[in-house]
Chains A and B, each alone.
Chain A
Amino acid sequence: MLAHGFGCDQNMWRLVVPALERDFTVVLFDHVGAGNSDLSAWSPDRYSTLDGYVEDVLELCRELALGPVTFVGHSVSAMMGVVAAVREPEAFAGLVLLAPSPRFVDDPETGYRGGFDAEDIDELLGSLDANYLGWSGAMAPVIMGNPERPELGEELTNSFCRTDPDIARVFARVTFLSDNREDLALVKVPTLVAQCASDAIAPREVGEFVHARIPGSRLVTLDATGHCPQLAAPEETTAAITSFVEALA
């Protein structure tokens, strides 16, 4: 089960899905509020904490009844996997945490370094406001005006990376203000932490922190720059997921 992070939708996985599908049953979904999800199902109450998303993941597991799944969560979705696996460990065979961060904001009291100070996060939320017009208007023609790639159908071009600004703002708050450090030690299912070699959003020491806190977890560092290894290094990402799942069996 592949869960996309903040920004964009399940298309984030498109470079790894073909290879994964050869060996596994792959479940893809858009979080409520993103991509082609039913926007009317979104409410600020349910989705202003990670809990709403975690419940969705657990509901998905129950509904599909596939037995214990390997949950691959990118970015903020990695922590959804952590919380879900703490809550219902029997639903998960394993967790792959891709570019995870249990807390993006530094915590001077404990010396934890998440990579951002509070001011940075304020600026981020400000930039979401600044893109309010950009997201609702300017992005649309950009995404649709793509004559060389007709395979990007209308449906896809309208939705990919295009989020309702109000929803994006709430999701950004959830993503960048959550603190799940305490949950890490409670994870009882086999876990792979896959971090990028150079990631401006989840630096290596954050990946190492996650690895150190989750009992028995493995850590791999993917030779990828940026926060999206499934796009920057799809083969290596696929290989890491595949070998982890095969070792579980």
Chain B
Amino acid sequence: MGTSGDEENGVAGLGRPGGTGQVAGGWGNGDLGSSDDRAQFSALLEDSVEDLYEHAPCGYLSTLLDGRIAKVNTTLLDWLGYERDDLLGRRHFSDLLTVGGRLYHETHFAPLLGMQGEVSGIALELKAADGSRLPVLVTSTVRTGRDGRPLLIRTTLFDARDRRAYETELLRARKEAERERERLQRLAATLQKTLLPPTLANVPGLDVSAYYHIASVDEVGGDFYDLFPLAEGTWGLFLGDVCGKGAAAAAVTSLTRYTLRAAAVYNPDPDAVLRNLNTVLNHEYNGADPRFCTVIFGLLTPDPDRGGFHITLASGGHPPALLMRADGTTDYLPTPGGQLIGVLADAHIATTAVRLAPGDTLLLHTDGLTEAHVNAVDGVDRYGDDALLDFARTLAPTTASATVDAIRDLLDTFGSGVDDDTAVLAIHVPRPPSEELQ
């Protein structure tokens, strides 16, 4: 105690005339010009040195290295409602803290102070004699002797009630913003779900699988697909990508989906289906905000003689389908020249027809997959059509679900490189069980 008291008497040293004279001198050129004024002013400061410490607008506290309180100013005593003798030599700084503050002090504050010699601006709460709480901002420095050994700890405490109220408000606003974001994400996810079929139609003799990869949880993407029954023994399927994201794109997606479904009932010829869609989108969005999409539409009919299915595909500017044959040969089914749907009044639609034999698998995808960023090789940083073709060749012959699973895993390896939504739809004609056994 004695030693620390002596050390702390250094505070009084601030009051030496030389120090105060300088301050007075700095101001002395104007109003304090007369010697009377100067003497008065000086006397005022001289008197106030002890007072400056005792009644400073912040709490002062000096503690021994073990935390025992060696010196405390009146401001802090008044805040806490303690007598000086209650604290000096009897209590530790951490005794003045709430339990939470005490734990924080022990586990963070004290170790940091020991390591750095200074810790500042830490929010803690004091517990007053009457049990009330006072939020403060605490700064501590370690005072060392000439030999560099730590002697004691000096601490200032600032009343932080206003700041704490402000922080509490900030915290509340931050939590609210986090909740809102979660709500938005839930909403986007729900909206996304309503734009996709809950289940795909069951087509006898066909194995079907689809996957939708969401690139951003904050926004609704513009990819879509469906597979649905048409007139007896025929099925329609489509997969596409509306330009843009968010609510506006979702509205176009919705219009596109229902138009495709209705157009296919009206005239199931794939070329006609896409023409009708083109007309609808072109009429709807012909103003300053053009909206368009790429889409591939297929009409499936079973082949009663040889087994398997016939499929006629029509494409409006969409990446071509991939055909993986039962014998392992794999290639794109080109549909060149098809134009974006919705831009021109009379878009050109490209069609192709193919028979899916038992063991064959057809894959439709959106360009989120091939446009995914991958590690740059030879200056190319997109995954690309060729890489997808090579990948498909390693899969063939395969099934619908195995294809979709493999692409899902592939997308996972891209991680955040997939910056656009991706939809994939695979159909596969299983081999008859007799062949399967061989």
Contact = CB atoms under 8 A, between A and B. Distances in A.
Contacts of B434: none
Contacts of A123: 98-100
B171 A132 contact: yes
A61 interface: no
Interface residues of A, number: 43
A36 interface: no
B101 interface: yes
Q: Is the interface of B mostly helix, strand, loop or mixed?
A: helix
Given A7-B107, A132-B171, 12 more contacts: A130-B164, A131-B123, A134-B121, A143-B112, A160-B112, A198-B66, A201-B103, A201-B107, A226-B106, A227-B106, A228-B111, A232-B65
Interface string B119-160: 111110100000000010000000000000000000000000
Contacts of A7: 104, 106-108, 111
B102 interface: yes
Contacts of B167: 130, 133-134
Given A148-B117, A225-B92, A226-B106, A231 B111 contact: yes
B411 to A, nearest CB: 19
A155 to B, nearest CB: 14
A120 interface: yes
Contact of B102 (A6, A152, A200): A200
Interface of A: 5-8, 11-12, 14, 75, 116, 120-121, 123-134, 138-139, 142-143, 146, 148-149, 152, 160-161, 176, 198, 200-201, 225-228, 231-232
B67 interface: yes
Given A143-B112, A161-B108, A228-B111, A124 B67 contact: no
Contacts of B67: 225-226
B170 interface: yes
A147 to B, nearest CB: 11
B107 A8 contact: yes
B122 A134 contact: yes
Nearest to B166: A133
A152 B164 contact: no
Contacts of A129: 171
6 contacts: A5-B107, A7-B108, A8-B111, A124-B99, A143-B112, A200-B92
Contacts of B125: 127, 130
A138 B100 contact: no
A142 B121 contact: yes
Contacts of B19: none
Interface residues of B, number: 36
Contacts, number: 107
A120 B98 CA distance: 8
Contact of A149 (B98, B117, B120, B121): B117
Contacts of A226: 66-67, 94, 106, 110
B261 to A, nearest CB: 43
A129 B381 CA distance: 43
Contact of A127 (B66, B98, B112, B121): B98
A228 B168 CA distance: 31
B116 interface: yes
Interface in B72-118: 92, 94-95, 98-104, 106-108, 110-112, 114-118
Contacts of A125: 100
A195 B112 CA distance: 21
Contacts of A127: 98, 100-101, 103-104, 125
A126 B125 CA distance: 11
A112 B253 CA distance: 65
B94 A200 contact: yes
A231 B109 CA distance: 12
B118 A146 contact: yes
B116 A146 contact: yes
A130 B123 contact: yes
Nearest to A115: B99
A133 B100 CA distance: 16
Contacts of A149: 116-117
A200 B114 CA distance: 18
Given A142-B120, A200-B94, A231 B114 contact: yes
A225 B125 CA distance: 21
A8 B119 CA distance: 14
Contacts of B99: 116, 120-121, 123-124
A160 to B, nearest CB: 7
Given A200-B106, A226-B66, A228-B106, A142 B100 contact: no
A123 B118 CA distance: 26
